Every structure is written in C-alpha cells, then in structure tokens.
C-alpha cells in the first residue's frame, strides 16, 4: 500500500466509483471526522484529494451511495470540540468525483427525519434510504426514495 493511510475510524462510509474507493467521515472514537480519502485500487495508492465547494460537516453514522460519478452523502450525526451534544442531520451533499467539488443540495418534498446508523443504496438513478436511529434513539423502519433526476423529492415508499 502506498500513500498516507486514513486514521483508524468507524461509522464511516466507503463507496466505489470505477477503480477507486471513497472513504468519508466517521469517528476516531473521540470526535466525528469530515475527511475524504481515496484508494486507487489499480495502483494500491491512498490519496487525500483537494476538494472544493460546500462539503458536509463532520459526521458519523451517515449513508453514502453513488449514481453515475456523483457520490451522495445523507444524514448521520456529529459533535464538535466545544459541545458534547450530538447533532443529527437530514441534509444531503453531492461530491462530483470527477471535479472533486462538493455541493449541498436543497431538496423538494418532505425529507426523511434526521437520523444516523441508517442504510442507503442507489437504484435506477434513485437513492433509497432505509431505517436508522432518530434524535430520540428510536429505531425507524421507514423507506424513503430520492429521485436524483431533474429534481430531488423524498417520497414515502411502502415495500
């Protein structure tokens, strides 16, 4: 393995785009992280890319999925150095993996409740968010679908 390895962590995301693994956020056991590391599997080299734009706050327990060359980060929770209180998120960010530019996305419709420890997956240009834990430590079983086409709509879905 070449390059600088990411610090040890858990509650992070790892997604693939082509031959590259994108590792974002998580926690080192003390604080939430907002760093991005990329492993090029064709050369076994770790990189810490220079990213631009409005990226996510430090977080753990978020979810990530890829549609095309866009990496979507949703939800999670985090806390800063100056407060021991965790903040839960219901925000959505997209990283263009070709230009390495982050963008916070304003969605239409009713977004899923703030949550962490949920899962998501991409399916036919959609992001499906399932379950997780809400701000009251209640485990959820809902399924939400985000259309990543021309507009963003979170819609309740029944399985």
Over 90: is that where the pLDDT of 155 sits?
A: no
- The whole-angstrom separation of Cα 47 and Cα 114 is 31
- CA distance between the termini of the chain: 42
Reported as a single tens digit per residue, the pLDDT across 76-101 is 999 766 667 889 999 999 999 999 99
CATH number of 13-156: 2.120.10.80
Tokens of 25: 């956020």
Q: What is the pTM of this model?
A: 0.91
Which residue in this structure is represented by tokens 């960010």? 93
Reported as a single tens digit per residue, the pLDDT across 126-143 is 999 999 999 999 999 999
Laid out side by side, the sheet with 70-74 consists of 52-53, 101-105, 92-96, 70-74, 63-67
- The whole-angstrom separation of Cα 50 and Cα 147 is 29
């Amino acid at each position: 393995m070449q390059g600088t390895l990411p610090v040890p962590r858990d509650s992070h995301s790892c997604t693939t785009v082509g031959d590259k693994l994108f590792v974002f956020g998580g926690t080192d056991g003390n604080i939430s992280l907002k760093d991005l590391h990329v492993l090029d599997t064709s050369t076994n080299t770790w990189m810490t890319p220079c990213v631009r734009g409005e990226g996510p706050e430090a977080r753990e327990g978020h979810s990530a999925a890829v549609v095309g060359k866009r990496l979507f980060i949703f939800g999670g929770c985090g806390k800063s150095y100056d407060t021991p209180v965790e903040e839960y998120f219901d925000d959505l960010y997209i990283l263009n993996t070709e230009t390495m530019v982050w963008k916070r996305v304003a969605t239409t419709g009713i977004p899923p409740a703030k949550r962490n420890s949920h899962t998501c997956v991409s399916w036919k240009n959609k992001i499906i968010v399932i379950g997780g834990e809400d701000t009251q430590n209640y485990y959820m079983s809902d399924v939400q679908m985000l259309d990543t086409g021309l507009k963003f709509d979170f819609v309740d879905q029944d399985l």
